[in-house]
Amino acid sequence: MKKSLLLILSGLLLSVAAWAQYPVKSVYETQFRTEADLAALKDYSALIKDTNNNGKIDDQTDYSDTLSIVAVILEPPYQPDGVRTYYSSSSPTIVRFNVADTSFLRTRDFGWNCINVSTDMDSSFTPKDPLKLGQLEKGMVVKLTGRVREFLKGTQFELLKGRKENGVTVYTGIVEVIDQVDLDAFPKTVSLPIGTLNKGTWVNNVTSTQQLVTGEMYESAPVNLTGLSVIGLIKTNGESEILVQDASSNQIAIDNQANKFRTDKGLWPSGKPMAPVGSRLDSIAGYIGTYNANGMYGLNPIDPTWIHVAANIPPVVSAWKKSKKYYAPSEEVAITFSAADNDGTVNKAELYYRPTQTAAFTKVFPVKGLGNDYTSTLPAVNQDSAFVEFYIEVTDNFGDKTRSPIADNYAYWVFAKSPGIHAIQYSKQANTESYFKGDTLTVTGVVTSTRKDIGDVYIQKGTGPWSGVQIFGARSDTFELGDLVEVTAIVDEYFGKTELKYFKTSDFKILAKNQKVPDGSVVPTDSVRNGGPWAEAYEGVLVSVENVFVVNTNSNIAIDGKSRGEFLVSENVSSPFGLSVDDKANRTSHNLPFLNTLNLDYTLTKEDSSKTLLSLGQKFTKLTGIVDAYFLSYYIEPRDSADMGVKSGVSVETGIPVSFSLNQNYPNPFNPETIISFSLPQVQKVTLTVYNVIGQKIATLIDGKIMGAARHQVSFNGAGFASGVYFYQLTSGNQVLATRKMMLLK
């Protein structure tokens, strides 16, 4: 029997005392974070604890204490036809549904009041549906018992998988139906612009466009978006996901997590997009979720009826393809494209171009040819190294316009001779692809990194933005630092990184040896970190950052919970952001003075993999490396210890340790040099000594020296000693502080 809203809300308050087993929290309490927290990227639920005891909150593996929430069901776990509402590609046994705090019935405010509920109906459940989730309906007020956690940076409430009574697992008291709300008074959705959630171009693995401060409060809320254009498919494997854009070029992914966008079995994608590419959407409704591991917001419609495609379809323009790799300064350029309208006719086609990036766009009218073809002839640009941009605009008989490309401009280069690294790397496109992708070109440059350094070969011409690029192919292990090489190669893109790929030794020449390796261009960390304005421009370039602090010692954790040996640095010691420093050199030379646990030893435990020789607040006066990219995620690759400012003898980094420690030497085993580091929480007089396996002293690295409260490093060179096990011991006066074992392996 349906009750009035006032009776339901008052009844809930009176009956909370009867649920005594676990504390009762509101949905609002599970979700709310302050603006300061969000600005610091602290978007996890405040109720989640460090259950792993590793000093931080981990996605998917840390939970809150067991608690209960009282909420109203927005979208039930099963549809009327018995099919699950949500489809899980990671596990077909997962059941999910959305609920909202009961307060929203009064306030009509979805902000901070919604959460996604989940449970895994795997083999641990003996009955088929022991929690009776199939009986839940939209508008039911329920008490749910479970734990709060984060999954792909989205807050979830995970139901208990049974509870013990007299040693027997029972399922009562986990999902309790309390009442039913009158659906006529049920708020449907909240209308928001995309800009509340994401700003600018949507990229799969970059979080710079995500608007945490304004968007996080609508996580799991039902949202309606209006006035959008469908600009493409998210994936090319037949899934129905689409990418949409508003009039301000803000983009968001429309995800296909609902079973209605899969086949009837919910196992394979339907192969049909939710809406045709190029169409307009009057409106689309769905639940806000995180689309990927970086937390980008996406929208999840539950049913095709939630998507309203506009009656008129805008005209379609085919992409222009260049006829040459580049054009001569004296050469006119013919631009040919096709334009058609599926529900009418093309009334007008226009082309806008500019010969330089500072010039205004000039409009020309293409000439219609056979069928749907149009051609414009642009005048010669009598300037070497000119970058000519243009875009096409087509209007149909309904007045609908299509701009091609939607967000960027087409472009071609004008050169008197073959282009170099700068032109090959240069890109203004959102996908950062080279304008010479697929072309075979000959370039020269000085080798800045070899296979023996970070495992990849980079060459550079000059310094500054767009001056470096990776090359790979036959016998690339023959290159040495300082080689001036000439390479004839195909311009390729590898997950967002421009590369030069060649196939045989005759494709390259070593023109000279021992040339000066370009100095690292000094850049601010904010300019080249993820989302930095110059990150793409410095891809493949040797750079340096100065006076930076470690702001995260384990910034990249693998799916199995192990550290990937990366850390973040920033000029601001308290910054939540930073430039990622990668450990790729340790996979080849093992020559970096910090622990690369995942790639050195896959047998390490998760706890061991989190150990590092770095400390928060540790300062580097100068840190150098190659800017690398993967899926538009940017980081720098130091080539060796020297790139990190570590030299022979003792070095000291700032940042007072909270306790004493003698760390494992690195690398270990070593040949012939290794780094030994230790931390002192107070000023002490210390001695560091090395012994052989029979206890004979073979070296004194520090001899009774008064050393400050800091982290210290000293190098040990075993060139004059035989392979075997050695011990190093740190003492203060007559007190042995610690002893560790190391192995010299020649």
Fill in the amino acid letter for 604: L
pLDDT tens by residue, 611-638? 566 777 888 899 999 999 876 689 999 9
Alpha helices by DSSP H, listed for 656-732, are: none
Residue 649 confidence (pLDDT): 44
Q: Hey, what are 702's tokens? A: 């520090």
pLDDT tens by residue, 523-574? 999 999 987 889 999 999 999 999 999 888 877 766 566 666 788 999 998 8
Cα–Cα separations (whole angstroms), residue 702 to 665, 687, 720: 15, 5, 19
Q: Nearest CA to 516 among 549, 475, 484?
A: 484
Residue 366 confidence (pLDDT): 95
- d(Cα 504, Cα 438) in Å, to the nearest integer? 17
Q: Enumerate the β-bridge partners of residue 73.
A: 99
Q: Nearest CA to 510 among 534, 489, 486, 476?
A: 486
Which is higher by pLDDT, 55 or 49?
Answer: 49
The DSSP-derived string for 419-444 is --HHHHH---STT---TTTT-EEEEE
Q: Enumerate the β-bridge partners of residue 458.
A: 449, 470
- d(Cα 499, Cα 478) in Å, to the nearest integer? 18
Instruction: For the chain, report the end-to-end CA distance as a whole number of angstroms.
Output: 82
Question: What is the helix (H) or strand (E) element at residue 579, kind and residue range?
Answer: strand 579-581
pLDDT at 604 over 60: no
Estimate to the nearest angstrom the gap between the alpha carbon of 193 and the chain centroid. 23
- d(Cα 476, Cα 250) in Å, to the nearest integer? 42
Which is higher by pLDDT, 424 or 19?
Answer: 424
The values of phi and psi at residue 173, to 5°, are 80, 0
Q: How many CB atoms lie within 10 A of CB 444?
A: 15
pLDDT tens by residue, 183-210? 877 778 899 999 999 887 765 544 457 8
Residue 478 confidence (pLDDT): 84
Which domains occur in the chain, in start order? 5-185 (2.40.50.140), 190-309 (2.40.50.140), 326-414 (2.60.40.10), 421-518 (2.40.50.140), 648-746 (2.60.40.1930)
* Radius of gyration, alpha carbons of the chain: 31
Estimate to the nearest angstrom the gap between the alpha carbon of 691 and the chain centroid. 46
Q: How many CB atoms lie within 10 A of CB 234?
A: 19
* Cα atoms in the Cβ-side hemisphere of radius 13 Å centred on 592: 31
The answer to whether the beta carbons of residues 307 and 241 sit under 8 Å apart is no
Mean per-residue pLDDT of the chain: 84
The answer to whether the Cα torsion of 198, 202, 205, 207 is positive or negative is: negative
DSSP-derived letter for residue 183 is G
pLDDT tens by residue, 64-102? 999 999 999 999 999 888 888 888 766 778 899 999 998
Q: Hey, what are 370's tokens? A: 């056979």
Q: Nearest CA to 587 among 452, 477, 497?
A: 452
Q: Nearest CA to 52 among 557, 417, 511?
A: 557
Q: Hey, what are 442's tokens? A: 């000959």
Q: Quickly tell me which residue has 């095709």 as its tokens.
A: 304
Q: Is the pTM of this model over 0.75?
A: no
pLDDT at 18 over 60: no
pLDDT tens by residue, 658-717? 678 888 887 788 888 888 888 888 888 899 999 988 888 999 999 988 887 777 888 899
Across the beta sheet with 316-317, what order do the strands follow? 316-317, 333-340, 373-378, 367-368
The answer to whether the beta carbons of residues 633 and 612 sit under 8 Å apart is no
Residues 6+ apart with CB under 8 A from 675: 593, 613, 641, 646, 665, 666, 713, 714, 715, 716
- d(Cα 692, Cα 721) in Å, to the nearest integer? 10
Extract the runs of DSSP E, i.e. beta strands, from 108-246: 114-120, 140-151, 154-159, 163-165, 168-170, 175-180, 190-191, 222-233, 242-245
pLDDT at 639 over 80: yes
Three-state SS string over 225-251 comes to EEEEEEEEECCCCCCCCEEEECCCCCE
